[in-house]
Amino acid sequence: MKTELKSFQLPDEKGYFGPYGGSFVPPQLQGVLDEITQAYMEIKDDEQFLTELHALYKHYVGRPSPIFHARSLSEKMGGAQIYLKREDLNHTGAHKINHCLGQALLAKKMGKQTLIAETGAGQHGVALATAAALVGLKCDIYMGEVDIAKEKPNVIRMKILGARVISVTRGTKTLKDAVDEAFEAYLGDPITQFYAIGSVVGPHPFPMMVRDFQSIVGREARQQFREMTGSLPDNLVACVGGGSNAMGLFTAFLDDEEVLIYGVEPSGLSLREGEHAATLTLGKPGVLHGFKSYLLQDEKGNPLKVYSVASGLDYPGVGPQHSLLKDLERVTYVTAGDSEAIDAFFDLSRFEGIIPALESAHAVAFALKLAGKLEKDKTILVNLSGRGDKDIDYVAETYGKDYGVV
Ligand SMILES: *Cc1c(COP(=O)(O)O)cnc(C)c1O
């Protein structure tokens, strides 16, 4: 095994995972990021910090999340045995709470007063507003005007939780503009505010820090799976937007050569430009939002329009460690499209009684295909990153007729 794969030895001191990652930010921000890095390195192995964080994981989030053997679905496919790591059962319904709590605790320790972030569909905003309420920090969430109109329940949730939701009215009034405005607000006062990033993306130390906070998923899964079956899973599968739930599951297994690992990107409507968000599959290395990684970009380096039925997956970049894992061929990156994800959404609902998030349904879709090709004694562990309650209205309206819902 190449030594660069040793899970926790990356990134290097400058935040590089091989050629990817780093920190491409204005000089006035670099000083603040260095402070965050230093504060994080001090607490990361601190017993008191870890005890506090793990007590919250247990008593607040409800960890460890169970692993469930999806027997009916496995039987239907007639091949490998499919298991689900149930991150959908966490408080707030997805894996995001894991890194939001970690960042909120760190911000509190650093004496910050306000957590800020952008949000698209509102999932990161809700998880962060939750963590802010719990640890006693203010919370400002920047959200495009268009998304605010589309995602009403999440906007109301954030407000009930005591967060301010700032409507972004510039440009396309969606996620990209919300990122820009949140970033400007942060530059205006990086001393009392803490910018909590929603995935393993952004400048150093965020890809490392968010990965570390999420790595609880894989550490639990490794032990639980061994207890259940007597060995490690033969295959891991997770969906990849920015890549945090995937890194969360993968990290504990990177050094186990016998475990094959798959990251699933959204191929949306097709692999034509503007109709997908398959960054690692079709992108090229470049710099966006302060870090270097594979990107979907035009010749001038501007991000391309991206699309997926799962709004949590439609990002033109991807976490830098995924870019390295692709180049090293340690992880195989594959795609699943809208219609496959919708099929998997209904399959999991109807065969197992579990309604998955549309993001997670992409991982399930690929796992079903893979299972069909493998022998019955092989195993596949899927990270079920979130629950589908947030998606049911959209699914019923858009696909309900085809599946006998309306
Ligand atoms: C946000 C989200 C994702 C995508 O983010 P990653 O950083 O790629 O994990 C996946 N699943 C769910 C349920 C989400 O809310």
DSSP letters of 353-402? S--B-HHHHHHHHHHHHHHHHS-TT-EEEEEE-BBSGGGHHHHHHHHGGG
Task: Tokens for 262, please give them.
Answer: 């798959």
The residue extents of the domains of the chain are 23-57+96-211, 62-93+213-403
87 CA to centre of ligand 1 in angstroms: 11
Ligand 1 pocket test: pick from 91, 100, 118, 123 the residue with the most ligand atoms within 8 Å of its Cβ. Answer: 123
**CA-nearest residue, atom 13 of ligand 1:** 386
Q: Specify the CATH number of the domain 23-57+96-211.
A: 3.40.50.1100
Residuewise pLDDT in 10s, the chain (406 residues): 444 455 558 999 999 999 999 999 999 899 999 999 999 999 999 999 999 999 999 999 999 999 999 999 999 999 999 999 999 999 999 999 999 999 999 999 999 999 999 998 899 999 999 999 999 999 999 999 999 998 899 999 999 999 999 999 998 898 888 988 998 999 999 999 999 999 999 999 999 999 999 999 999 999 999 999 999 999 999 999 999 999 999 999 999 999 999 999 999 999 999 999 999 999 999 999 999 999 999 999 899 999 999 999 989 999 999 999 999 999 999 999 999 999 999 999 999 999 999 999 999 999 999 999 999 999 999 999 999 999 999 999 999 999 999 9
Q: Does 65 qualify as catalytic in the annotation?
A: no
Q: Are strands 138-144 and 114-119 parallel, antiparallel or unpaired?
A: parallel
Q: Are strands 235-239 and 260-268 parallel, antiparallel or unpaired?
A: parallel
b/e map of 167-199 (b: 16 or more CB within 10 Å)? Answer: bbeeeebbbbbbbbbbbebbeeebeebbbbbbb
122 CA to centre of ligand 1 in angstroms: 11
Q: Are strands 235-239 and 379-384 parallel, antiparallel or unpaired?
A: parallel
307 CA to centre of ligand 1 in angstroms: 15
Q: Does 385 qualify as catalytic in the annotation?
A: yes
pLDDT at residue 1 in the model: 42
d(CA 227, CA 242): 31
Mean of the per-residue pLDDT values of the chain: 96
pLDDT at residue 6 in the model: 55
Q: Does 329 qualify as catalytic in the annotation?
A: no
**CB-CB neighbours of 254 under 10 Å:** 22
DSSP state of 170: S
**CB-CB neighbours of 142 under 10 Å:** 25
pLDDT at residue 172 in the model: 85
Q: What is the pLDDT of residues 233-269, one digit of tens each?
A: 999 999 999 999 999 999 999 999 999 999 999 999 9
**CA-nearest residue, atom 1 of ligand 1:** 312
Helix H or strand E encompassing 306: none
The catalytically annotated residue of 118, 151, 265, 352 is 118
Q: Matching CATH topology for 23-57+96-211 and 62-93+213-403? A: yes
The domain at 62-93+213-403 falls in which architecture?
A: 3-Layer(aba) Sandwich (3.40)
28 CA to centre of ligand 1 in angstroms: 30
Q: What are phi and psi of 91, to 5 degrees?
A: -55, 135
| Three-state DSSP class for residue 285 | strand
The ligand 1 site (C-beta within 6 Å) comprises 94, 96, 123, 199, 239-245, 312-313, 357, 359-360, 385-386
